[in-house]
Amino acid sequence: MAEINLSKVCKRFGDVSVIEDMDLHIKEGEFMVLVGPSGCGKSTTLRMIAGLEEISDGQMHIGEKLVNNLPPKDRDVAMVFQSYALYPHMTVRENVSFGLKVRKIPKEEIDKSVAEAARILGLEELLDRKPKALSGGQRQRVALGRAIVRNPSVFLFDEPLSNLDAELRVQMRAEISKLQKRLGTTSVYVTHDQVEAMTMGHRITLMCKGDIMQVGTPLELYETPANLFTARFIGTPPMNVIYGEIAESGNHISAEGLTLPLEGDLAGLGVRHRGKKVAVGIRPENVTGARADESGGLVFEGEAGVVEPLGHEIITHVALGEGHIVAKLPPHPIPSIGDTVRLKVLPQKLHLFDTETEQRLV
Ligand SMILES: Nc1ncnc2c1ncn2[C@@H]1O[C@H](COP(=O)(O)OP(=O)(O)OP(=O)(O)O)[C@@H](O)[C@H]1O
Ligand SMILES: [Mg+2]
C-alpha cells in the first residue's frame, strides 16, 4: 500500500499540452476512479503513474519516493489493461507466474502465490488452458491474477471491463471492488463509464480536457456538483439544465415559464444572488408526474417527445420552452408520443450555477 501524490504535474507531447498543473492526492488503500470523456487525459495520467509516460513537469510521489525518473519496474505498481495483454502461447499458470519468474522468485513461492490468486479469482480449473480457450471474463481474471501475484503497492486499471458484455461487466465490477477491499491495495481505475465510477470508487476524479473538474465521493459529485460539467456528467439520464433569473426578492427563480421557489437550504442562496442570471440544474428523478388537481409555478404541461418505458419507470422527454425536460415517471400509464403530459418539479432539489463561470453558486 502507498499513497500517490501528483503535484503540478504536466504532460506535453511536443507542443501539445495534454495535462497542465495537475494536483491530485490518492490516499493509501483508496480506490480512486479517474473518469471523463474520451481524450480528457485519463490514460495519460495513469501511464504517468505507471512510469510508461514521462512527466514533462512537476513532481510525482508514490509513498515517500519521488518517482519522476524511476522506471516502471522499480515503482512497485501492477497494471491491468483493456486488452488483457496475455501471452497467447502460455497457459494461464504461465501467464500468471511470468512476472514472478522474471524476478527470479523461488519456484515454491511462485506456486504458492499462483494457487492463492487462482483461488481468489476462481481460476483453479483453468490453470492449464491457453488464453484462446477462455471467455472474455476469464481472460480478464487471468490479467487480474497476474497483477495480484506481484503483491504491488498500487494497482492501475485502464478500462479493464470495456471488452466484456453488459452482464459480465456488472459481475466483474463487483469482483474487482471486493478484491480491492480484501487486499486493501491503493488502486487507480480509469473508465469513461460514470456508472462504473459511481459504483466502484471510494472517490472519483472527474476530468475534462486535461483539467480536474471535481474530486470527491460518488455522492458528493451527485449531490453537490461543483460545476455544470460535473452536474451533467454524473447521473443518468443527465441533469436537465434550464436558464433563468433569480427574482429581486431573492425568493424564487423564473425560468422557462416556471416559478421555482427558493426555500429551505436554497433561501440564503436566493438572497445572496438577487437578480442574477442562473443555470438551474434539475435531475430527471426530481421531475415527476403532476396530478390533475395540482397547479402552481412548479407544474407545467408539455408534449411528450421521446418515451422510454423501462418497466419500473418511464423516461419521458417533455417540451418546455425552446427545448425539453427529461422526467422519470412512474411505470403507468405510458404516454404516447404527442400526448400532453403534466409534470411537477421537486423544488428542494435544484442546483444553481453561475451562467458565466459555470460554477455552483454558494
Ligand atoms: N503519444 C501521443 N502523442 C500525442 N498526443 C497524444 C499521445 N497520447 C495521447 N495523446 C493525446 O492526449 C490526449 C489524452 O489522451 P488519453 O489517451 O489520456 O485520453 P483518455 O482520457 O484516456 O481517452 P479515452 O477514453 O479515449 O481512452 C488526447 O487528446 C490524445 O490525442
Ligand atoms: Mg484511455
Atom of ligand 1 nearest to the CA of 45: 18
Ligand 1, atom 16: nearest CA belongs to which residue? 41
Q: Is 38 a pocket residue for ligand 1 (Cβ < 6 Å)? A: yes
Q: Is 44 a pocket residue for ligand 1 (Cβ < 6 Å)? A: yes
Give the closest ligand to the alpha carbon of residue 41.
1
Q: Which residues contact 95 (CB under 8 A, 6 or more apart)?
A: 86, 87, 131, 142, 145, 146
pLDDT 10s digits, 181-221: 999 999 999 999 999 999 999 999 999 999 999 999 999 99
CB 252 within 8 A of CB 261: yes
pLDDT 10s digits, 70-107: 999 899 999 998 888 899 999 999 999 998 998 899 99
Q: What grid cell was written down for 243?
A: 436558464
pLDDT 10s digits, 25-51: 999 999 999 999 999 999 999 999 999
Helix (H) or strand (E) segment spanning residue 20: strand 16-26
Q: Is 338 exposed, middle or buried (0-12, 13-18, 19+ CB in 10 A)?
A: exposed
**Cα-Cα-Cα-Cα dihedral of 56, 215, 358, 327, to 10°?**
130
Atom of ligand 1 nearest to the CA of 53: 1
Domains, the chain, in order of start with CATH, read: 4-228 (3.40.50.300), 240-354 (2.40.50.140)
Q: Which amino acid is at 275?
A: G
Mutation choice for ligand 1 from 17, 44, 211, CB with most ligand atoms inside 8 A: 44
Q: Is 47 a pocket residue for ligand 1 (Cβ < 6 Å)? A: no
- What percentage of the chain carries pLDDT values higher than 70? 100
DSSP string computed for 302-354 = EEEEEEEE-SS-EEEEEEETTEEEEEEE-SSSPPPTT-EEEEEE-GGG-EEEE
The SS3 call for residue 124 is helix
Q: Mean per-residue pLDDT for 293-320?
A: 94
Angle at CA of residue 168, ends 162 and 171, nearest 5°: 110
Mutation choice for ligand 1 from 13, 205, 212, CB with most ligand atoms inside 8 A: 13
CB 18 within 8 A of CB 10: no
